[in-house]
């Protein structure tokens, strides 16, 4: 009896295809984080985080800065994501 190599080759091809899949949301988010508006919001968030972590006792949180960054990024993503989906 001959071994069924056709199934082995097919399984290997399927594994290669699965490895190549990239989440389009991640790709678009990374792209959007580079645009000026998002980059400025991210910089403000990082400055706030640095300020908060440098103090031992503070009531300051970076919630507003985080929401501003996420809002800017998601606004960009909303305009670009669906055009990249198949």
- DSSP symbols for the chain: ----HHHHHHHHHHHHHHHH---HHHHHHHHHTTSHHHHHHHHHHHHHHHHHHH-SS-----HHHHHHHHHHHHHHHHHHHHHH--
Look at the block and give the residue holding tokens 């989906």.
85
Instruction: Say what the pLDDT of residue 49 is.
Output: 96
> Residue 44: exposed, middle, or buried by beta-carbon count in 10 A (0-12, 13-18, 19+)?
middle
CATH number at 23-84: 1.10.287.20
**pLDDT tens digits for 17-41?**
567 888 888 999 999 999 999 999 9
Question: Does pLDDT of 86 surpass 70?
Answer: no
Instruction: Say what the pLDDT of residue 79 is.
Output: 87
**pLDDT tens digits for 37-64?**
999 999 999 999 999 999 988 888 999 9
């Amino acid at each position: 009896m001959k071994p069924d190599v056709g199934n082995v080759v097919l399984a290997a091809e399927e594994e290669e295809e699965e490895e190549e899949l990239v989440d389009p949301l991640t790709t678009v988010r990374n792209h959007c984080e580079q645009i000026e508006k998002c980059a400025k919001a991210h910089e403000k968030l990082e400055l706030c985080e640095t300020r908060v972590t440098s103090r031992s006792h503070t009531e300051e949180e970076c919630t507003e800065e985080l929401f501003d960054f996420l809002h800017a990024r998601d606004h960009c993503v909303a305009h670009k994501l669906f055009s990249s989906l198949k």
